[in-house]
Structure 1
């Protein structure tokens, strides 16, 4: 279990991710991702595999925000945080992405405390269906 101060710092990074991903706002996402961070996952569509570096991921996120205007359907929540020293795993559930299709994702963030800041070093996700 994460110490309270560390949990709060990790939660702050995840909240910034949620806001940035919803809007496709790279200015919000860039400071919380390590420069060498990667994204791995499958879908949508089913069977399409993603293995992207940070910049390619940002380009995709800007082109397809999870809650594009007029918005209002996207919801995300921090489900758990496990921390051991300067490493942590945060799990986030997202749903309502891209409108009424109810596309849902479970994101697993590998995080490291670099200097005095928590950074996302890897995002792995599972797409649970919808909007195919």
Structure 2
């Protein structure tokens, strides 16, 4: 009888130990899951911050949007993430960056529809054409690319230098380089928020490459 009680107590103790070990295991698993989730959220924020630096640059570095080698070079993931978000999820600066992306890509790949879409209908472009200073409409500007093959890279590279936003208006500076012709241009844009989108309402440009003054 004493042996039976001893064995019964031993069995109950063993069952209790198994239950306690199981509970400890579950608590450890849950703790690890919570820590991992918080770390993932933190990493997402860091990744988003780094992607923004890739587009806009910081005081020490700038990233070139290179359409010859890839969709948007090092900014590809950022632009793809913009396309997956609804307009209400994007900041005004992100929307402007997306407008500039379409401007650069449309002009680099002779995509007339994409290029014209970034301008307001009544936008004015002030450019020097054939040494004559002119005021152009978006359709007149887009026509410069009409004889080139759509979708074929034409040698233009774009880099966003700056974006400044004040409520529903903004200014932006873009560098355009054409290495084969040894040309570098600075484009200055005035943008306006129209509805949920940002449109270019004015543009001017100047050439700053090494041939200037020669």
Q: Structure 1-normalised TM-score?
A: 0.79
Give the secondary structure class of the aligned counterpart of 1:41: strand
> Which is richer in helix?
2
Could you tell me how far 1:61 is from its partner in structure 2? 3.1
CA RMSD after TM alignment? 2.3
- 1:119 has 2:199 as partner: yes
Bigger relative CO (Cα 8 Å, ≥ 6 apart)? 1
With the length of structure 2 as denominator, give the TM-score of the two structures.
Answer: 0.51
Ranges in structure 2 where 5+ consecutive residues have no aligned partner: 1-89
Distance 1:104 1:62 in 2: 22
| Residue of structure 2 aligned with 1:55, choices 139, 150, 163 | 139
Unaligned runs of 5+ in 1: none
Match of 2:161 in 1: 79
Output the CA distance in 2 between the equivalents of 1:87 and 1:17. 18
Q: CA deviation at 1:128?
A: 2.5
The alignment covers a number of residue pairs equal to 120
CA apart distance, 1:69 = 4.7
Q: Which digits, 9 at most, give the CA deviation of each residue in 1:75-101, with x for residues without a partner? A: 1111001110000001000001xx611
Bigger fraction of residues in strand: 1
Give the number of the structure whose alpha-carbon radius of gyration is greater: 2
Query: Per-residue deviation at 1:20?
Result: 0.3
Aligned-pair distance for 1:70? 6.0
